[in-house]
Structure 1
Amino acid sequence: MLVSDDLLLYYQRCDRRAFLDVFGDSRQRDPLDQFLLKLRQDSRSHRREVLSQYHYQRPDWSGEDWYEGTQATLELMEQGVESIYRGVLAASWLPGVELVSKPDLFVRHPGSSRFGDWFYVPYDIRFGKRPKLDYQIVGAFHGLVLSQLQEVWPPTAWLVLRGRNPHGVDFLKRVPQMQQLLSDCIVSLRQPQTPELFLSRQKCNLCHWYSFCHHAAQSQRHLSLIPGITPNRYSQLQGMGIDSLAALVETPRSQLKMVFGAEAGNQLAQQAIASYRQQALLRDGAITHLFQSPHNRWLANPQGAIEIHFDIEAEPDLDLDFLLGSLVIDHRHNRQTYYGFMAKSPQEEALVWQQFLELMESYPQAFIFHFCDYEVKTIQRLAKLYNTPKHRYQALINRCVDIHWWVTHLTLLPVESYALKPIARWLGFNWRNPQANGAQCICWYNEWLSEQKQDCLEAILEYNEDDCRATYTLKTWLTQFLKPYYLEAINPERNRIINY
């Protein structure tokens, strides 16, 4: 069995992924999407920038035979070369277990080892900005393998991060953690069955086994597909003997409250019912939220003469909001008009901000609907950046309505996630390009900047318009869903309903 640094890295994130990487059918992997390719390209650029600071040599090996690579790397170490790029070291660990370490660099330092009055220290070049624990564990793994072959531990392993000083791994803390994880990883890989499934939306979306696992989860109606069920809560549910959605629905709410707390237990019970019945429910306490919200006035006139739906596309690495999209719904004339204010270069951000401001101010009474709080934060950021008078941008903010807030505080939906796409698709809305997403738009925009392909801008505008229309679809449904509750709540018996 070969246990490499990459395998240990992914085992920390998901034991199932590590197992599938070794034993799974590679034909069932998802193809690399453009965003992942961009991340890899950016990572390579960062690596080249760092490597330009070193005088390194590369071992002469085919790249396939670990033994051959180890011998070639050791030859350079015995020569005492300054640094080694793309070296590899393999060392026996347990009977039948070989450890394979491939840091970006081995750098010579003065000291003592079997090579002479020098030893080597591993350097990992990471595109991230933080010294994540899983990176540090891999650094400790490099130290372990290196110590087996140079017969002395390096004092540390270095993480060369983006925009940060190199971070030294504290071996005193990380080596014991690494050894425990390594032991667990070996045990897992020796088991005949695939590790249990748990689908985590944030951690799993970029994994090449995502579709494979997601299909399995859907076929099982797995509890990890229920919003609010975290890995810790899943373990607690298993401890209670709850291993299916049906079992969760049948569990007394008082029992869930006792285990998870009153609020979380109650929410979990309600979400389970919504998912099991495949229907929307009014969340407990929703009417109170409705009247406490400072932006509840839109419900009094949910379909005014004009309403606006607002969505932004951004490039975080450039600190740039390059598209401010707005769908203007004119109910008076039964007309829908999309405006996509696109910065075709970073220097045009100020221009599109002014264009957006002027459009919003041309409809001073219209509510501005958006999904999540990023749009309001962007208005504040752009206003500050471009010295917009407070009365101008504050007037916009006062008209903003965060539909995500209303959905998550007032409703429970039979969806896997309360992001815009799952909710809108549950309502029957479909994006014209089903593969498009915010990450893909970043790729298209960078492709536009480098190659000036007009179809990249057109794809971004189409996706952004669909986001605006999805927000409109959701807002329209939410209005219809809440209307009877709202009308009942404002009648003379309102206090009875609120206190119910």
Structure 2
Amino acid sequence: MDKIEKIYNKCLTRQTDSNDTINPSMILTYKRSPFNLWCDLYAAKEDRDPPSESYKILAEIGNIEEKKFISENYPEMEIIPIQTQEEGFLYTLKGCFEGSLTFSQSPLIYLPEMILGIPDLLIKETTHKSVFGDYHYTIKEKKTVKQIKEEHILQAALNNYIIGKIQNYTPEKFFLINRINEETEYFFSEYETKLANTLREIKEIINGKKVTPTKSQLSEPWKSFGLKKLKESGDISLIYGIGAEKKQLLLEKGIATILDLEKSDINLLKIKGIGEKTLNIYKLQAKALLENKKIILDKPVFQKAKNEIFLDLEGTFDVPITYLESMGIKSNTNEEWTNTVYLIGAIIKEKNSSSKQQFFASTLKEEKKIVNNFYNYLKTKDDFIIYYYGNYEKSTMKKLLEKYKLDDFITPKMVEVSQILRNSVVFPTHSYSLKEIGKELGFNWSDPNLDGFSSIAYYLRFLKNKKGEDKKKLEKYNEEDCLALEKIKSYLEEIQQEKKEVKLTSFIKE
């Protein structure tokens, strides 16, 4: 038996398609949402959400960027031809014994511990011996994110651990490269314990541990299924503001459902990490949900202005130039990544009249044009207030004005409606998103499945094909967001104008 066969047999003690193997993708899923990992293992396929176009784009971007980075930085690299995991692993072992400098997509398998991985890069180093000879191999991973997070580090740490088991030497360091090609080294010893704990927790789920969803962690492809399960159980995380950490604190006090919280005595409930004021708000939220009624906290206050402008911006996430080029789209920058505000929309109310203004970028280069057009339009208004819903509009507008060197007479006149709403009313909803609050007040979108994230796919498709129906769909979506915002503000004004005094604020203790 030669060396290759000996190591191969040591590492493959059973079939790699076994359901109880762990790979780096499972670590990423688990760290973001343990429930998603449970669903991947046990939920029915028909309960999965279909993949959105925007998520497909993100996957394509990842593949394109990885190939670009490898071809530019490691031209000598050997790409592992994979028919099966086992064949790819055998090919990797042969290359390692031959001393190949670099591998890409090389399967690593160590089934005595039921772990496997496919690192982006396997790099030859001569600083330490291994079973392969007077050299060993280290791990490098390329990510399309700007900020490397713990889940990315643990993914690479697992690959580092596996190559260590295979070559009888665990490298002291492994490396991650972010989307702007900044390379950072990580010491395995600093993550070894955290990796072991994460693998143990994943094995518990593989072995049958039940995992309940948490609303703040719901994501594709199990978002709809998870929300259904939460509503069936009345899970405590359906209350706005209760994420995974606060849910765990409440569970430790025996509060698992909305009903549990509504029945609890806040005066006796002392929870480190959740203040009394916050607990009171949660209790009111529970009451609103159980009774399906809005609860007024305080009267909102709005300033008067001749022109009321209801603003909504549409923009893309960061997109690499390589992806745009692959679609035949010309970029607006020399930078490797770009994001663009492509639609500035507003409903303008003046006295008893109402009008619509929309500024649409038909190419990526037209962002400056639409910003200037909107800027010049506002210059014609001598007295105005701009209402917007979340924090995206104000922060983005500020960046745009700085980018194009325009005086900022705009952001000081911008008012965030969602903040006023949360301070004034407890809604019987699971979030305070524009869509959920708008629906609660009777506003209906013509396409309920279209949102800010999915609209990006329509815009990129428009840039490629220039189809008028895609532009119209985006403009309609933008207009309806502005109209929903106007409806929410009108509702708050009704509360402001009521003569009845509001006394619930005395219940919310500081």
TM-score, scaled relative to structure 1: 0.87
Residue of structure 1 in register with 2:435 after alignment: 421
Find the aligned partners of 1:74 and 1:458 in 2 and give their Cα distance.
Answer: 55
Name the SS for the 1:169 alignment partner: strand
- Of 266, 284, 288, the residue aligned with 1:253 is 266
Q: How much does 1:331 deviate?
A: 4.8
Find the aligned partners of 2:359 and 2:57 in 1 and give their Cα distance.
Answer: 25
1:100 aligns with 2:116: yes
Q: Which has the higher contact order (CA 8 A, sep 6+)?
A: 2
1:322 aligns with 2:323: no
1:483 aligns with 2:497: yes
Residue of structure 2 in register with 1:45 after alignment: 64
Letter in 1 for 2:265: P
- Of 423, 445, 464, the residue aligned with 2:478 is 464
Residue of structure 2 in register with 1:82 after alignment: 101
1:135 aligns with 2:148: no
Name the SS for the 1:355 alignment partner: helix
What per-residue deviation string (whole Å, max 9, x for no partner) do you get for residues 190-238 of structure 1? 12x53223221xx323x21111111111222221111122222222222
Residue of structure 2 in register with 1:313 after alignment: 314
Letter in 2 for 1:89: L
What per-residue deviation string (whole Å, max 9, x for no partner) do you get for residues 123-153 of structure 1? 2211111221111111111111111111111
Residue of structure 2 in register with 1:29 after alignment: 48
1:167 aligns with 2:149: no
- Of 312, 333, 347, the residue aligned with 2:365 is 347
Find the aligned partners of 1:258 and 1:463 in 2 and give their Cα distance.
Answer: 43
Indicate conservation of the 8 Å contact 1:199/1:224, yes or no: yes
Describe the shift of the 1:128–1:386 C-alpha distance in structure 2 as closer, same or farther (beyond 3 A): closer
> Any residues of structure 2 matched to 1:344-423 within 5 Å, and which?
344-389=362-407, 393-394=408-409, 396-423=410-437
Q: Which range moved further: 312-321 or 182-191?
A: 312-321
Describe the shift of the 1:224–1:450 C-alpha distance in structure 2 as closer, same or farther (beyond 3 A): same
Find the aligned partners of 1:379 and 1:467 in 2 and give their Cα distance.
Answer: 17
Letter in 2 for 1:310: L
Residue of structure 1 in register with 2:198 after alignment: 181
Residue of structure 1 in register with 2:3 after alignment: none
Letter in 2 for 1:99: I
Name segments (4+ residues, structure 1) moved above 6 Å: 496-499
Find the aligned partners of 2:484 and 2:245 in 1 and give their Cα distance.
Answer: 33
Name the SS for the 1:112 alignment partner: coil
Find the aligned partners of 1:400 and 1:339 in 2 and give their Cα distance.
Answer: 17
Gaps of 5+ in 1: 291-295
Indicate conservation of the 8 Å contact 2:154/2:195, yes or no: yes
Name the Cα RMSD after superposition. Answer: 2.6
Find the aligned partners of 2:450 and 2:246 in 1 and give their Cα distance.
Answer: 32
Describe the shift of the 1:371–1:253 C-alpha distance in structure 2 as closer, same or farther (beyond 3 A): same
Residue of structure 2 in register with 1:277 after alignment: 291
> Any residues of structure 2 matched to 1:432-447 within 5 Å, and which?
432-447=446-461
- Of 155, 166, 171, the residue aligned with 1:154 is 171
Find the aligned partners of 1:385 and 1:149 in 2 and give their Cα distance.
Answer: 51
What per-residue deviation string (whole Å, max 9, x for no partner) do you get for residues 240-272 of structure 1? 222221221111121346653222122222222
Find the aligned partners of 2:119 and 2:281 in 1 and give their Cα distance.
Answer: 46
